[in-house]
Every structure is written in structure tokens, then in C-alpha cells.
């Protein structure tokens, strides 16, 4: 076995699990569009086996194969041999980045911008002034991670918010009534810069349910777009920064499915020592998705949820983000919330848990395939007959809005946190006044 490959070697046992049955070919959204074995978990797994045997180098062709993966984990969910190809893919990307390096612009952003929130915000602000100048098609932002990359691809994407979350949400948000938990809000980049309203609404719900919410300014990007791409070193630095930022919180809650899974994956990919692994595990154990936290930890009384008036009488459906259902096992909780909302009708769409095709920067590097995958989602939504799609991942929201608008469908795509508020007292009736946390 070659001396390098320090990351992928950790997952050699996972790689050995595959028995080449090819069942993943039915489930892989990328393979279903491209019909190229390199896109398939089995193909990637075989290439990684060749790599471990010294019969394959870390070539660009190899990177091309392991890069063509959404990390949706659908193959993992259905693999009869329980092969964790997601582990091996991320680790192999890590070994490639360590030996060959990521593209320069990508690594510059990962290393220097994402870890400095003010710089990231500033860069975005500048970018927002020039948004109207962006060309259609492949744009200048292709090496910015996650949602930012989507800007350059001729998509209908939300504009950069005029006021970021940190400019409109205090660091300390006291609980309404008796404090039950001290919760750290992990906002995530998309919520911070594009959907600050979602962040404010989540804080509003959590404080209403008796949580003191701390919005630490010291938090950085969760690191998922960074270390999922293979820059494990920068990912590690971000992880360490976030561990520090959330010291003293009982839970770390996020409304972003990707951030939630990224934070939970620190111990899998990023630890440098057993001690650090233990620290990452202890941190990951305190991370909760917003839906899971409200239902499982707070065990909130559904009668306290009050539907946002403009959704009264509407029918909505739910899109399961991969990073929620498969990475974190959260699927029942948002449905509990949706079913509990009086005045709202909830219907399932066919294949609700099918990947939307965004995959962070995948939507730029593999633009055509990403769009084709999203088209199936639109078909599923239209078959459901719903008026709006609800989900809990800013990335999915961007992708679904873009896909719907491409199909001339004006339906709304909303974050579940925007759908309801918490009644503050027994006197609160339906359709009460303005939001308690108004834009300052």
C-alpha cells in the first residue's frame, strides 16, 4: 500500500465491503442521468481499491471520478453490504488535495475567507454590488463554495441580503419565561448572508419555547463545503474555531441541514488524535437540527405552534434534504410539525427524499447533471398538487427555487422556520400581531 493516502487508508475496511452487486446504480441520482460507471458508488469504490493496491495514482481522472458525487448517501442507504462509500470518497478527496492540492482559487477561499466571517461578509457585500454584472452561464464565482457558486451559473438565486444576520440579531437572546436550555445558534453561511430572516425566525421560536439563544460571533463556516471537497486541514481549523465558539452551550442548533451534518462529521474526518476525536464527538453529540431539537429535545406541544397567516388554507409538501434524512436520520420530526399546524394541509410528494441535485459546489462543477436531477424534483412537486415546498436546508431552497422558476412554476419554497411562530401566551389567538423580533 502506498505510504501516502493517510486518509483513505482509515476507511479501507469500508472499501472492502462492496461486493459489486451494482444495486447502487438504481439509486444514484448522478448515475441515473449519466449512465457512466465512474459516477457510480461501485465504480468509485473499485477505483479506490485500485488506489489502495497501488494500481491507481491520484490522477486528475481519478479526482474527476470521486468529485462527481453529491454525497447524497442514497447508495449508502440502500447498499445491501452497507458500504460507506461516502467515507471513502471524502477521504480520497482529502488525499488528493494533500498530494496534488485543490485548485488555487478554491483553496484561497477555503483557507482565508471562510474562516474570517467579516472578510467573507465584506467580499459578499462587494459581490452583491456587482451582482447585476454577472454573466449568464459559468461565472466568476465558480470557486466560491456552496451557495455562492450558484450565483455564477445563470440561476434564479436569492440576492445577498441587505442586512446580514449578525447585523440584525443580538449575541444574547433571552428565553421567554423560565430558561430550559442554553442553545447556541449555528447560523451557517447561507442563513447568515442570504436568508437572515430564517435565522431570526428560528431564534424567535427557540426563545419562545424557553431557550436562551446565543448567537456567537466567533463561529465560522461549518466546514462542510471545505472538507467534503477534500481540504481537511482547513476543515480542521474551522472545526476547532467552532468548538471554541460554542463552549458553554447545552446544545448547538442549526436550521441548515448541511451544517448539521458537517458539524456531526468532525470526528469522522478531521481529528488528528484520539483526544481530539473525543472532543469532536462530544461536540457532535450536542448538535441538533432545528426540527429534531423542537420535537425530540424540547418536546414542544404542537398546540403552541401557530401557522403564519399567509399559509392559512394552503397545501404544502415536504422535501427531505439528504443532509437531514440520510446524514442525520431526521425525517419524522418536520412531518410532525407540518401535521400539527392548524389551518395547513400537508401532503407527501412522490420521492420526497430524492436528492435535489445541488450538492454544494457540485451544482457549478456539474451544472448540467445538477439541473437534470432537479427536474425530477419539480415533477414530484407538481404531482403532489401542493402550493408550496417546505424544507430545512438553504442549499435545497436555492436549488428548488431555481428549478421551479426554470419550469415557469411560481410556487414558493420556504424554510420550515418561516412557516410558524410560537404562541407566547394562552391569550394569543390566530393571526396575532407582528413578529416579536422585528428587523432592527
Partner 1 sequence: MMRRCRYADCEMVTKDAIRKLEGIVGAANVLSSEEDRKVYSYDGTSTWVHQPDVVVFPTETAHVEAVLALANEAKIAVTPRGGGTNLSGGSVPIRGGISLVMTRMNKILEISPGNLSARVQAGVVLMDLQKALAAKGLFFPPDPQSFLGATIGGIISENAGGPVCLKYGVTKQYILGIRAVLPTGKAIQFGGITLKNVVGYDLVSLLTGSEGTLAVITEAVLRLMPMPPARKTIIATFDDLPKAGETVSAILDAGTVPAKIELLDNWVIRNINRITGMGLSEGAAAMLMFECDGTDEVVAHDAEKIIGVCRRMGAAGVIVAKDAAEAQAYWKARGAGFAAVFSAAPTVLAEDVTVPRTRMAEFIRRVTDICKAADLEVTVIGHAGDGNLHPSVMTDQNNPGHFARAKRAVDEIIAAAVEFGGVLSGEHGIGLEKQKFMRRTQDPTFIDLMRQIKRIFDPNGILNPGKIWED
Residues of this chain that interact with partner 1 (CB under 8 A) are 16-17, 19-27, 35-38, 40, 43, 46-47, 50, 56, 59, 61-62, 64-65, 80-82
H or E segment to which residue 99 belongs: helix 85-100
**Which H helix or E strand runs over 183?**
strand 181-186
What is the rounded CA–CA span in Å between residue 365 and residue 374? 15
- Which residues of 263-366 form beta strands (DSSP E)? 287-289, 305-307, 315-318, 345-346
- Beta carbon nearer to partner 1, 25 or 437: 25
Identity of the residue, 20 or 163, whose beta carbon is nearer to partner 1 in the bound complex = 20
Q: How far is the CB of 17 from partner 1 (least distance, A)?
A: 6
| CB-CB contact of 359 with 72 (8 Å) | yes
* Minimum gap (Å) between residue 123 Cβ and partner 1: 36
Nearer to partner 1, 2 or 343 (CB): 2
Of residues 19 and 126, the one with the C-beta less far from partner 1: 19
d(CA 180, CA 202): 16
Q: What is the nearest approach in angstroms of partner 1 to the Cβ of residue 234?
A: 27
The CB-side HSE value for 123 (13 A sphere, CA atoms) comes to 15
**Smallest distance, partner 1 to C-beta of residue 371, A:** 17
Q: Pick between residue 33 and residue 289 the one whose CB is nearest to partner 1.
A: 33
Distances (CA, A) of 79 to 14, 18, 65, 318: 12, 9, 19, 25
Helical H runs in 117-265? 117-129, 146-150, 165-168, 189-193, 196-208, 224-227, 232-245, 257-264
Cβ distance to partner 1 smaller for residue 37 or 432: 37
Residue 322 C-beta: closest distance to partner 1, Å? 19
CA 269/CA 87 separation, integer angstroms = 8
Q: Which three cell numbers stand for residue 136?
A: 449568464
- Whole-number minimum distance, CB 62 to partner 1, in Å? 6
Amino acid at each position: 500500500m502506498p505510504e501516502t493516502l493517510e486518509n483513505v487508508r482509515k476507511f479501507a475496511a469500508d472499501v472492502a465491503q462492496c461486493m459489486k452487486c451494482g444495486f447502487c446504480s438504481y439509486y444514484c441520482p448522478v448515475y441515473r442521468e449519466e449512465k457512466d460507471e465512474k459516477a457510480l458508488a461501485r465504480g468509485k469504490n473499485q477505483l479506490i481499491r485500485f488506489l489502495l493496491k497501488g494500481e491507481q495514482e491520484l490522477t486528475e481522472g481519478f479526482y474527476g471520478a470521486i468529485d462527481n458525487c453529491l454525497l447524497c448517501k442514497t447508495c449508502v442507504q440502500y447498499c445491501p453490504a452497507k458500504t460507506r462509500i461516502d467515507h471513502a470518497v471524502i477521504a480520497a478527496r482529502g488525499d488528493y488535495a494533500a498530494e496534488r492540492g485543490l485548485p488555487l482559487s478554491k483553496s484561497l477561499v477555503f483557507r482565508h475567507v471562510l474562516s474570517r466571517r467579516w472578510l467573507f461578509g465584506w467580499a459578499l457585500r462587494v459581490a452583491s454590488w456587482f451582482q447585476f454584472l454577472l454573466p449568464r452561464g459559468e461565472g466568476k464565482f465558480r470557486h466560491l463554495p456552496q451557495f455562492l457558486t450558484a450565483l455564477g451559473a445563470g440561476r434564479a438565486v436569492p440576492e445577498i441580503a441587505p442586512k446580514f444576520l449578525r447585523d440584525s440579531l443580538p449575541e444574547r437572546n433571552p428565553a421567554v419565561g423560565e430558561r430550559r436550555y442554553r442553545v447556541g445558534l449555528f447560523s451557517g453561511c447561507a442563513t447568515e448572508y442570504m436568508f437572515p430572516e430564517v435565522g431570526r425566525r428560528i431564534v424567535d421560536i427557540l426563545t419562545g419555547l424557553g431557550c436562551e439563544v446565543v448567537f456567537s460571533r466567533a463561529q465560522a463556516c461549518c466546514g462542510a463545503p471545505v472538507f467534503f471537497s477534500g481540504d481537511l486541514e482547513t476543515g480542521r481549523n474551522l472545526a476547532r474555531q467552532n468548538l471554541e465558539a460554542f463552549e458553554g452551550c447545552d446544545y448547538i442548533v442549526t436550521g441548515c441541514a448541511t451544517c448539521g451534518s458537517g458539524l456531526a462529521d468532525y470526528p469522522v474526518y478531521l481529528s488528528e488524535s484520539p483526544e481530539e476525536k473525543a472532543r469532536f464527538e462530544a461536540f457532535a453529540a450536542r448538535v441538533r437540527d432545528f426540527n429534531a431539537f423542537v420535537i425530540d429535545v424540547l418536546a414542544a406541544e404542537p398546540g403552541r405552534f401557530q401557522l403564519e397567516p399567509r399559509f392559512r388554507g394552503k397545501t404544502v409538501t415536504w422535501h427531505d434534504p439528504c443532509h437531514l434524512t440520510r446524514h442525520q436520520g431526521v425525517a419524522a420530526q418536520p412531518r410532525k410539525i407540518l401535521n400539527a399546524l392548524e389551518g395547513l394541509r400537508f401532503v407527501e410528494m412522490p420521492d420526497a427524499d430524492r436528492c435535489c441535485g445541488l450538492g454544494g459546489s457540485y451544482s457549478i462543477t456539474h451544472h448540467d447533471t445538477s439541473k437534470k436531477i432537479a427536474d425530477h424534483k419539480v415533477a414530484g412537486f407538481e404531482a403532489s398538487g401542493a402550493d408550496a415546498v417546505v424544507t430545512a436546508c438553504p442549499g435545497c431552497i436555492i436549488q428548488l427555487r431555481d428549478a421551479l422558476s426554470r419550469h415557469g412554476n411560481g410556487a414558493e419554497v420556504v424554510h420550515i422556520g418561516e412557516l410558524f411562530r410560537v404562541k407566547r401566551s394562552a391569550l394569543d389567538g390566530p393571526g396575532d400581531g407582528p413578529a416579536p423580533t422585528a428587523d432592527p
